[in-house]
Structure 1
Amino acid sequence: MPFVDLEYRAVKPALMLAPFVESFWMLVNPTDVAVPVVLVPDGRVDVLFCFSAEAPYRVLLLGLQNRPEDQVISPYSTMFAISCTLLAVEYLLPAQGGSLLHDGRELPDDYLGMSAEDLRNFDRFCANASARLTHALPNAIDPRKRTLFALLYASGGSRSVQALAEAAGWSPREINRYFTRLFGLSLKAYSSILRFRATWPQLKAGHLYADGDFADQAHFIREVRKYTGAAPKQVARNYDDRFIQFSTLPEK
């Protein structure tokens, strides 16, 4: 089933929300056919507002993944989402009570004051979600965490734990304790996911060789296989748009 049968849009948040929200996006399957896809780790935590012909409206909080996962996009389904950074997990999302690694939680149907009616118009959804999230922003953020995450995302996971710790004024041991407790994996493991994600445009363009962020070609192949379950050549071909996150990358 080609990706062209699905409807996809994404928009960036306002500058004030950018440390917490990576994007708002929608995915609609207007057909009567279930679409099999592979979800690969992307370093995001998602809040999903969704319904389909098979399931009523619900709101889900989906945590981090560190391995590929087969999923199906249901027939006649609509999904609007807020993709969040890790900083949002502590300061903005209702994610208390342990890490969100490989975990999904039901949120109240009225989370952020939303309802199924808000899934009729994506622009209105983005405006309403932005307003309510902005209202919920914390008054203060630990400056070490703000610096750490800003550098982490800006580098695409390429900076070492030691370099990030020195820049943030926070010991590597304390950082890893924080990451493991709240997110379920180490900073090094999370950086590896971000480094893999940074390869998506090159893989989509058919560039199948390691760049400067990998030790060598063998390391590059291992990382791609680890996070997709396939060789770089198979990912680049992306038959039937199975790797859906690659299919939604903007064309250059």
Structure 2
Amino acid sequence: MSLQGNHLEYISLKPYSSLKDLVESIWMVKNHSDQKTEGIIVPDGKIDLFLFVSENEPFEIFISGICSHPVPKPPFPKSTMFAISFYPLAAEYIFGHSFSTLQDMRQMLPTDYWGFSKEDLTDFQCFYQKACNIVSSQYSKEIDRRKKKVFELIYESKGEITVSKLALLSSWSSRQMNRYFHNWFGITLKSYLNIIRFSNSLQQLKNGHLYPELNYGDQSHFIRDVKKFSGVRPTLLSKNENDRFIQLSLMKRN
């Protein structure tokens, strides 16, 4: 997927098929504007690794855990960002450590992390190949079938499945699942389901549909969740004035 707006250039590619359970996408955003406009990133249930440089900022590599509320993005005019968006299972099967302390936070990494460098930001296609190869080299053990099944069900249902049904279909108890989510990601399974359901509602809001299309029960429930995860009501999120909400700005209208 590629998108060119007035000032944002966006490309997103799916990873190698062997990584489909661990990597959601590999993407880039280039901001060609020199305007200092702040933005907001809303929760999407992913762990993200970023390579970033701007006209007035040094090269950085950092990683962010799962977000549970909107995160302000400082204005970075004339900037380039390449990123790998991981599904949560990557915490255990790629990184090998918990991300519970990185919920709603980011961690700076060495500028040669995984062999990346500032020069990788000059060619996205080369970065894509390098990223897939590096992540593949970190992937050393088979994913537990119960964990794989749980996440498949979550994404297939767009977050509309219950914890009890997940337990039934995955043969993994609710207590064990909640312990796993708490220990590895710092959130409850129910909270994660709500994040995924909200994230799947963004496309309808981009299209100007302000009423719930997923299982929210009623309009007031939908409004509460949108306010919780974006900070504003559905009407304001849908308008997205000044491209304030980054993910919405990078999304095509259906």
Q: Would you call these one fold, judging by a TM-score over 0.5? A: yes
Letter in 1 for 2:205: L
Aligned-pair CA distance for 1:33: 2.2
Residue 11 in 1 paired to residue 31 in 2?
A: no
Q: Residue 109 of structure 1: CA displacement? A: 1.7
Letter of the 2:42 counterpart: V
Could you tell me which runs of 5 or more consecutive residues in structure 2 were left unpaired when the two chains were aligned.
none
Partner of 1:52: 54
TM-score normalised by the chain length of structure 1:
0.94
Which whole-Å CA distance do the structure 1 matches of 2:100 and 2:206 have between them? 35
CA contact (8 A) 1:99 1:181 kept: no
Question: CA separation of 1:189/1:97 partners in 2, compared to 1, >3 Å: closer, same or farther?
Answer: closer
CA contact (8 A) 2:114 2:134 kept: yes
When the two structures are superposed, what TM-score results if normalisation uses the length of structure 2? 0.94
Moved more, 120-129 or 86-95: 86-95
% of aligned pairs identical? Answer: 39
Counterpart in 1 of 2:78?
76
Q: CA RMSD in A?
A: 1.6
Deviation at 1:177, TM superposition (A): 1.0
Query: Alpha-carbon deviation of 1:97?
Result: 6.8
Task: Letter of the 2:143 partner, please give it.
Answer: I
Map 1:145-164; keep pairs closer than 5 Å. Answer: 145-164=147-166
Greater mean deviation of Cα atoms: 73-82 or 115-124: 73-82
1:216 aligns with 2:218: yes
Structure 1 portions without partners, runs of 5+: none
Partner Cα distance (2:80, 2:37) in 1: 13
CA contact (8 A) 1:52 1:75 kept: yes
- d(CA) in 1 for partners of 2:160, 2:172: 18
Amino acid at match of 1:178: Y
The one-letter amino acid paired with 2:157 is S
Decide whether aligned partners of structure 1 residues 97 and 227 sit closer, same or farther in structure 2, where only a CA change above 3 A counts.
closer
Residue 200 of structure 2 corresponds to which residue in structure 1? 198
> CA separation in 2, counterparts of 1:31 and 1:95?
38
Partner of 2:28: 26
> Cα deviations across residues 129-166 of structure 1 (Å, max 9, x unaligned)?
01111122122221111111111112111110011111
Give the 5 Å matches for 1:63-142: 63-93=65-95, 95-96=97-98, 98-142=100-144
For residues 70 and 103 of structure 1, do their structure 2 counterparts lie closer, same or farther at Cα, with a shift above 3 Å needed? closer
Judge conservation of contact 2:95–2:138 (CA < 8 Å) in 1: no
Q: 2 CA distance for matches of 1:93 and 1:59?
A: 15
